[in-house]
Amino acid sequence: MRRSIDDLRTFYGEPTGALVRRMLARRLDDAWGEAAGCDVLGIGYATPWLGGFVGARRVIAAMPGGQGAEQWAAAGRNRTVLVDDKRLPFAAGTFDRILLVHALEEADDPLALLTEAVRALAPAGRIILATAARGGLWARAETTPFGHGRPFTRSQLERLVREVGLEPAAWSQALYVPPWRPMLPLADGLEQIGRWVFPGAAGLIMLEASRQSYARVRPQGLAQAVLAARPSLTPAPVSGGAGHAARAGHPPMGAARKRP
């Protein structure tokens, strides 16, 4: 059973939730901060981050029925829709960017949900899955939304996206600070050293993926330079042939922003 919209709203209004908002926003801003002319869909509880996609043409928040919905306005109009996450009410190929947050962990059928998300993804579109990390302390903290449902490992997310015809392009982790209020002031410092000192302690894992048919074009010019310049946020591993992030033609998560 999904966490209710009231629980999620309350959590993200507290100091611990504010920290999560900031840490994930930093990663998303690096990856997709400029989305000029793009149609963007958030699935699950993504509204705390949807306002950060600069220049997007249209932004919609799809909230699963088991969770409930809240009003979220963009450009003065409500942009929230209550959905059946196994049958999204969008035409095929509608969205250039799709973000899933608090979506997969408590889904009755994660594969069915992701299949629907991919159906709504444009041919050259990109998708980011943000989920609780199985090995992190946040997945064990029932006082946070990450302590409910099924957490994931990176390899599990990679298998999941491949099952629906996507190819992993890049990945990242966040929330190295334990989910205890006295530790929150240390969050920024722990984010800097966490991936080197205790990578398995991250509370949040993010995987970016795109369609396989678009995973064979090697990047030129700036895209290659970005991959070399920002090794701290890692392209996905190679399963054969050239590296996924290179073949996708997109910078890895956390690379310098560039217009799509």
Distance of alpha carbon 4 from alpha carbon 229, whole angstroms: 41
Distance between first and last Cα of the chain: 37
In a domain, 100, yes or no: yes
Distance of alpha carbon 59 from alpha carbon 62, whole angstroms: 10
Angle between the N-to-C axes of helices 154-163 and 110-119, in degrees from 0 to 180, rounded to the nearest 10:
60
Number of domains in the chain: 1
pLDDT of res. 230: 34
Average pLDDT of span 41-45: 97
Token pair 């509880």 is at which residue?
45
User: Using one digit for the tens of pLDDT, what is the confidence trace for 95-110?
Assistant: 999 999 999 999 999 9
In a domain, 211, yes or no: yes
User: Using one digit for the tens of pLDDT, what is the confidence trace for 166-204?
Assistant: 999 999 999 999 988 888 888 888 888 887 888 788 999
pLDDT of res. 41: 97
In a domain, 64, yes or no: yes
In a domain, 133, yes or no: yes
CA atoms within 13 A on the CB side of 123: 2
Q: 70-84, 107-121, 216-230: lowest mean pLDDT where?
A: 216-230
pLDDT at 1 over 90: no
The residue segments making up the domain with residue 148 are 5-248
Angle between the N-to-C axes of helices 187-197 and 15-32, in degrees from 0 to 180, rounded to the nearest 10:
60
3 state DSSP class of 77: strand
Name 34's Cβ contacts closer than 8 Å, sequence gap at least 6.
Answer: 53, 54, 55, 257, 258, 259, 260
In a domain, 260, yes or no: no
pLDDT band at 75 (very low <50, low <70, confident <90, very high): low
In a domain, 254, yes or no: no
pLDDT of res. 239: 42
Widest Cα–Cα separation across the chain: 47
C-alpha closest to that of 160 among 196, 230, 110: 110
pLDDT of res. 186: 87
The beta-carbon contacts of 8-17 under 8 Å, at least 24 apart in sequence, are: 8/45, 8/67, 8/102, 8/145, 9/70, 11/144, 11/145, 12/48, 15/181, 15/184, 16/143, 16/144, 16/179, 16/181, 16/184, 17/144
pLDDT of res. 76: 67
- 18 versus 72: the higher-pLDDT residue is 18
In a domain, 253, yes or no: no
pTM of the model: 0.81
In a domain, 110, yes or no: yes
pLDDT of res. 240: 39
Name 228's Cβ contacts closer than 8 Å, sequence gap at least 6.
Answer: none
Task: Tell me the CATH number at 159.
Answer: 3.40.50.150
pLDDT at 164 over 90: yes
Mean pLDDT comparison of 65-79, 146-160, 193-207, 210-224, highest-scoring range: 146-160
Average pLDDT, the chain: 82
User: Using one digit for the tens of pLDDT, what is the confidence trace for 226-238?
Assistant: 223 333 334 454 3
